[in-house]
Structure 1
Amino acid sequence: MAFAGKTVVVTGGSSGIGAALLRRFAQAGAQTASIDLLPPPDRFSDLFVACDVGTEAALQRAIATIERNLGEIDIFVSNAGVLSSQSGHAGSASDTDWARCWSVNVMAQVYAARLLLPKMIARGSGYFVTVASAAGLLNQIGDAAYSASKHAAVSFAESLAIQHAADGIGVSLVCPQYVATPLIGLSEAQAETARGLLSADEVAICVIEAVQANRFLVLPHPEVHGYAMNRARDHDAWIKGMVSLRQRAVDEFGAARPMDFYKLI
């Protein structure tokens, strides 16, 4: 797919992977729109719309604003995501946290597809990019709500790809492992020195290449493929390995915090 003249929308576009994607799409000739709760510190896009993507009516209004100003949407990138504040056992996160993970990490994609698919199908073209996580193929130790919602996001992206390929709809599912973004409190500078940590721009380059090639599964950390294959081959052995990884985190850092695991892989 060529991006010149296309309209690309990125949720969670004010920082991190979203901001990097907006820059890369713009450099490739697309006109871009950013959806986020707060505006970016710098202008990354042609249009910014403030919106809570986990609320369907708000997302409907945001998309209507974009269409009114930039025309029909060619590529919609569901990048906005949230973690939970799980502090104890796997069920310890609050109902509010579980609901927030579900609404932002899953339902925001459903809302976008519900509104855009009929228009895309009618014209025989359109593209959805789901920025999920390796947690959606594996698991994020220490955040059960996030992991469960990312598994659901992976499944919905698969449904889009399976059901609508014949309608001319493309889908890419992005499953990075650890990325230096504000979501996990890490800076771009840290990505330069940490072996298992990528920068947001490195992920954005992978996404651009995948959309150009109409490739479904995008693994910015190639090693995730091997981990997923191990899980599929012997789930019990994989669980034991994850238990050991969790214990390593507890031994080295005093707790199994999601933001520490990139140091162990």
Structure 2
Amino acid sequence: MDVHGAVCVVTGAAGGIGAALAEALLERGAKVALTDLDGERLSATRERLATAHGDVVAAAGDASSAADIAEVIVLAEREFGAPVDVYVANAGVGVGADLADEASWATAIDVNLMAHVRAAQQLVPGWVERGRGYFVSTASAAGLLTQIGSSTYATTKHAALAFAEWLAVSYGDKGVGVSCLCPMGVDTNLLTETGGASRVAQRAVTESGPVLTPAQVADDVMRAIENETFLVLPHANVLDMYRAKGADYDRWIRGMQRFGAHLASN
């Protein structure tokens, strides 16, 4: 898909991968509406991007709220005078260590999965009618593998990947493109400030491969959109790990058990 002139929405856009994706879209001639819970940081990001690129608006909101999703869609369509073409479901949380509590599970399911479902419910029917639209899901390598130290993150990122895959299977031949981003370590607050996830979960990521910049990841996503590629793997070794998992599941689990024991003992 050529994003030049496209109207886009990016969630979790106050910083990190979301801000980098918004900037990459703007650099390619797109028009972008940003949203994030952190209104102050969002405003600063919008001002920076507007100064450099123009064609950017912002509305603070909860990416998992159907009402807030509708609000940012309306804002984008009103300000840019055209329907939303691209939705980047990027907002995510890393709450809850180990088995976690009920509140952590509810938050993780709402933000990491249901935010994607609710956005698709509002946009996909119109995309099918017009024969044009693109959904970008930020999942994680944890969605292909697992996340040592956080059951909530591992489970909801598997679910986000599964939903994106279902969208592609169900609507990919009806004009709806889908890409699913599955990185390992990226230099964002989600990695460095886990909001309740364990130190073991952090180390499981940082010891498994290089920590990339958000801009590096954004470039990979842009290539995926342009080529209409489903799976986006900024860390090439994730594919090797995924193949090894599928080739011998029991062996892979034993290896992950050893890795977890190593992390816990150091």
Q: Structure 2 length normalisation: TM-score?
A: 0.87
Contact kept, 8 Å, 2:105 with 2:152, in 1: the verdict is yes
- 1:52 aligns with 62
Match of 1:165, as an amino acid? G
Q: Secondary structure of the equivalent of 1:250? A: helix
* Pairwise CA distance, 1:62: 2.3
Partner of 2:136: 129
8 Å Cα contact 2:15/2:45 also seen in 1: no
Match of 2:13? Answer: 13
Whether 1:68 and 2:103 are equivalent positions in the alignment is: no
What aligned pairs does 1:1-265 form with structure 2 within 5 A after superposition?
A: 1-39=1-39, 40=42, 41-43=44-46, 44=49, 46-70=56-80, 71-86=82-97, 90-91=98-99, 93-185=100-192, 196-252=210-266
Is the Cα–Cα contact under 8 Å of residues 6 and 30 in structure 2 kept in the other structure?
yes
3-state SS of 1:178 partner:
coil
- CA distance in 2 between counterparts of 1:31 and 1:236 reads 47
Following superposition, the deviation at residue 57 of structure 1 comes to 2.0
2: CA distance, partners of 1:5 / 1:55: 27
Distance of 1:169 and 1:58 partners within structure 2: 23
CA distance in 2 between counterparts of 1:213 and 1:58 reads 30
Match of 2:201 in 1: none
Shift of the 163–135 alpha-carbon distance from structure 1 to 2, 3 Å rule, reads same
Aligned residues: 241
Structure 2: gaps (5+ residues): 51-55, 194-207
Bigger mean CA deviation after superposition, 238-247 or 37-46: 37-46
Q: Distance in 2 between matches of 1:33 and 1:102?
A: 24
1:263 paired residue number: none
In structure 2, the CA distance between the partners of 1:195 and 1:233, relative to structure 1 (3 Å rule), is closer
| Distance in 1 between residues matched to 2:4 and 2:70, nearest whole Å | 25
- Looking at structure 1, the residues matched to 133 and 85 of structure 2 have their Cα atoms a distance apart, in angstroms, of 5
Tell whether the 8 Å contact from 1:54 to 1:100 is kept in structure 2 after alignment: no
Give the superposition deviation at 1:195. Answer: 5.8
The letter of the residue matching 1:134 is A
Could you tell me which amino acid in structure 2 is paired with residue 110 of structure 1?
V
Give the deviation of 1:104 after TM superposition: 0.5
Answer yes or no: is the 8 Å Cα contact 2:7–2:32 preserved in 1: yes
Counting aligned pairs with the same residue, the percent is 39
Secondary structure, aligned partner of 2:45: coil
RMSD: 1.4
Counterpart AA for 2:72: A
What do residues 172-193 of structure 1 show as CA deviations (whole Å, max 9, x unaligned)?
A: 011001111011217xxxxxxx
What's the CA shift for 1:214? 0.4
CA distance in 2 between partners of 1:42 and 1:131 (Å): 20
Q: Is the 8 A contact 1:54 1:103 kept in 2?
A: yes
| Aligned AA (2:223) | E
Letter matched to residue 18 of structure 1:
G
